[in-house]
A and B are shown apart, each in its own frame.
Chain A
């Protein structure tokens, strides 16, 4: 009997633990079943003067490195000097930021201002976690025209703005300048250069390549392929051009021109470049800080090679500041937000050498010229459609199978991705 009871309680405890997240959701709200998001408050006729606001504001953020913390502190200190009536309380959320924040939304206990990564922005917007900002933008006359358009668009849904990009990154080509003194400017040249490096005993493979759309999307666009139709209503990954582009990318693996970071035995492609396992990798601005750990390797960023599409293209990754629907000090949060995403605050934040500006009117920090140049023509690398993580996974799972089994057929990859896109779009 005792062991049966023990057994039952084990089972019960586990499921309780597994369902803890859902159990924490509050009572049914009176806010209705959605759809009315974005209605501006009644007092929208008044103008908004940030200097007139006083009080406390809590800021929730992740922190990837101590240097990032220092850079943010610099920006917050500058804010405190400019707006002495508002006191900022920082709360760094350790570990799984997304999961921690989702439980806070469920408990209606959210920081006043917080980071939102592009990756999950569509879900957070459609679940009404985030406050529409159009009213504040309009009343204050805040100039949003200097944000690179494809950073800003990620945090808009049905014409409503829910976040302003705090910074942004684009994917560029990073080359070992000893091994690649003349970096390729076209995809054809890239293949030639890589072929010339094949068999070079100094490296394990010419390129470190990502076996999914995290980087593959940039190559797909460059080679004239696409994921979605221009209006975003249908999947086009199964078109002839897209399929050819996926096959072209996969052939880089097939022909031994590139390997994945795990095949190379590295944690990520930046490490592969730093350890000298490859001569070429495709990364964003975060690579710069990471390469400080490998002072012996001479390298530089160059813009993504141009493919058969004929025009320059790459993909971007960004994150925004947003205010929660349930945030308590919304006005104070907006004041902090318009400063940090405005030209002055963003210049402070990006002068820390960690982040890259998401606005075109902020000075480019040294070493990030190529990354910012890409922002003018980069397409969103995530957050541009609801359910994109599932599409990415469908593509990546099948792509990795093809590489692992050495079958190198784009067909199943395209089919799996297309059916996931259809599924995600029909669920909207």
Chain B
């Protein structure tokens, strides 16, 4: 006991010097990326926050100090409010749906089944294909005379759809009641492969012993999933949910492809990023656009903190 304490004491100065050198080397190595991060990322945020307080001409710079007027005007604009509602609605539905799909696919292709490499590749494929190409195909499929409506007619499902109030030639992406759900389904399909990859990584981190113990205790497949796999995937859930929420709140390209920059039909695909784009590039209101960017930042930041708190809390009680 004493001898170890003594040896620790003797070794300490040398180790402290080593630690300091190590720290210096570490800081030196991260200095360049850190500087770039501070200037390009943090700097941009601070600059955007500054711009948001002005009437700002993109060529001439600040024109008039407005204080918080840009923020007040945004909150009073019904289109801004529907952009917030649409974006939050999309995120709230799309993230859990895609997580469920991704987890389902991951658990399936994690089994020792024949051709699982093929399935992994096949499920991941939509994620690497160009979103513009996939969205174009989706527009064809969901067209009033497109594949989806033809297939459901052929299968005799139309009475079922009629109960929900949809005619045989329902214009899914052109009807402002259904357009957003059309985008949600499209993106759940294309992104589930990416979430599957995340979940596969998380699945491989679960130790085999736990499953063996469960098997010895006589747990069935469903019990194993519900009581072991799902809870032990908690770090995976947090990562996927966080990446999902951040991505969801940034919805832009599919909405533009389907409803152009106006968020057509009838603002149903107007998202926050699209609203920002319109303010900046159509109306040339750069201060206003910066204010929208700051609001979006705050929403994403808050959402992430809340998620962190939720998952952290659960982990503590687990």
Interface positions of A (Cβ within 8 A of B): 3-4, 6-16, 18-23, 25-29, 31-34, 96, 98-99, 102, 105-106, 108, 120, 123-124, 127-129, 260, 262-265, 325-326, 387, 389-390, 393, 396-398, 400-401, 404
Residues A18 and B293 in contact, CB atoms below 8 Å apart: yes
Residues A128 and B57 in contact, CB atoms below 8 Å apart: yes
Residues B57 and A127 in contact, CB atoms below 8 Å apart: yes
Contacts of B166 in A (CB 8 A): none
Provide the B286-318 mask, 1 if CB < 8 A to any CB of A, else 0: 100110011011001100100010000000000
Contacts of B246 in A (CB 8 A): 7, 10-11, 14
Separation of A32 and B63 alpha carbons in the complex (Å): 8
Residues B304 and A7 in contact, CB atoms below 8 Å apart: yes
Residues A102 and B60 in contact, CB atoms below 8 Å apart: no
Known: A15-B48, A19-B290; 5 extra A-B contacts, CB below 8 A, are A7-B304, A18-B296, A22-B293, A108-B59, A128-B57
Closest to A20 in B: B44
Q: Which of B1-9, B184-192, B261-269 contacts A (4 or more CB under 8 A)?
A: B261-269
Known: A16-B44, A265-B143. A325 touches B59 (CB 8 A): yes
- Listed by A's residue number, 26 A-B pairs whose Cβ atoms lie within 8 Å are A8-B304, A12-B41, A16-B44, A18-B276, A18-B297, A19-B47, A19-B289, A19-B293, A21-B286, A22-B58, A22-B290, A25-B61, A102-B284, A105-B58, A108-B59, A127-B57, A127-B284, A260-B174, A262-B171, A262-B173, A265-B145, A265-B171, A393-B262, A396-B262, A396-B264, A404-B177
Q: Which of B11-19, B198-206, B210-218, B235-243 contacts A (4 or more CB under 8 A)?
A: B235-243
Separation of A25 and B143 alpha carbons in the complex (Å): 41
Which residue in B44, B47, B171, B289 is a CB contact (below 8 Å) of A263?
B171
How many whole Å from B299's CB to the nearest CB in chain A?
10
Which residue in B41, B63, B242 is a CB contact (below 8 Å) of A16?
B41
Number of A-B contacts (CB under 8 A): 170
Which residue in B61, B284, B289 is a CB contact (below 8 Å) of A123?
B284
Separation of A367 and B59 alpha carbons in the complex (Å): 42
Closest to B299 in A: A11
Which residue in A3, A16, A31 is a CB contact (below 8 Å) of B239?
A3
Closest to A420 in B: B79
How many whole Å from A225's CB to the nearest CB in chain B?
22
Q: Is B280 an interface residue (CB 8 A)?
A: yes
Provide the B238-278 mask, 1 if CB < 8 A to any CB of A, else 0: 11001100100010000000000010111100000100110
Residues B267 and A397 in contact, CB atoms below 8 Å apart: yes
Separation of A9 and B30 alpha carbons in the complex (Å): 15
Provide the B66-101 mask, 1 if CB < 8 A to any CB of A, else 0: 000000000000000000000000000000000000
Contacts of B182 in A (CB 8 A): none
Contacts of B243 in A (CB 8 A): 10
How many whole Å from B257's CB to the nearest CB in chain A?
12
Q: Is B160 an interface residue (CB 8 A)?
A: no
Residues A127 and B58 in contact, CB atoms below 8 Å apart: yes
Contacts of B51 in A (CB 8 A): 19, 22, 25
Closest to B289 in A: A22
Residues A7 and B308 in contact, CB atoms below 8 Å apart: yes
Known: A3-B238, A28-B60, A28-B61. A400 touches B176 (CB 8 A): yes
Residues B283 and A106 in contact, CB atoms below 8 Å apart: no
Known: A265-B145, A326-B59. A23 touches B289 (CB 8 A): no
Number of chain B residues whose Cβ lies closer than 8 Å to a Cβ of chain A? 60
Residues B64 and A33 in contact, CB atoms below 8 Å apart: yes
Residues B45 and A16 in contact, CB atoms below 8 Å apart: yes
Known: A16-B44, A27-B61, A29-B60. A9 touches B143 (CB 8 A): no
Q: Is B24 an interface residue (CB 8 A)?
A: no
Contacts of B173 in A (CB 8 A): 262
Residues B63 and A21 in contact, CB atoms below 8 Å apart: no
How many whole Å from B166's CB to the nearest CB in chain A?
12
How many whole Å from A272's CB to the nearest CB in chain B?
12
Contacts of A25 in B (CB 8 A): 51, 56-59, 61, 286
How many whole Å from B174's CB to the nearest CB in chain A?
4
Separation of A404 and B175 alpha carbons in the complex (Å): 6
Q: Is B35 an interface residue (CB 8 A)?
A: no
Closest to A108 in B: B59
Contacts of A20 in B (CB 8 A): 44
How many whole Å from A30's CB to the nearest CB in chain B?
9
Contacts of B59 in A (CB 8 A): 25-26, 29, 105-106, 108, 127-129, 325-326
Closest to B54 in A: A28
How many whole Å from B199's CB to the nearest CB in chain A?
16
Contacts of B144 in A (CB 8 A): 262-265
How many whole Å from A390's CB to the nearest CB in chain B?
7
Separation of A391 and B273 alpha carbons in the complex (Å): 21
Separation of A120 and B281 alpha carbons in the complex (Å): 10
Known: A29-B59, A31-B60. A23 touches B176 (CB 8 A): no
Residues A16 and B40 in contact, CB atoms below 8 Å apart: yes
Residues B45 and A19 in contact, CB atoms below 8 Å apart: yes
Known: A16-B44, A18-B273, A404-B265. A29 touches B176 (CB 8 A): no
Contacts of A400 in B (CB 8 A): 176, 264-266
How many whole Å from A110's CB to the nearest CB in chain B?
9
Which residue in B37, B48, B283, B294 is a CB contact (below 8 Å) of A23?
B48
Closest to A96 in B: B281
Residues A34 and B63 in contact, CB atoms below 8 Å apart: yes
Known: A11-B246, A102-B281, A262-B144. A29 touches B44 (CB 8 A): no
Contacts of A3 in B (CB 8 A): 235, 238-239, 242, 308
How many whole Å from A38's CB to the nearest CB in chain B?
16
Q: Is B168 an interface residue (CB 8 A)?
A: no
Q: Is B126 an interface residue (CB 8 A)?
A: no
Closest to A25 in B: B58
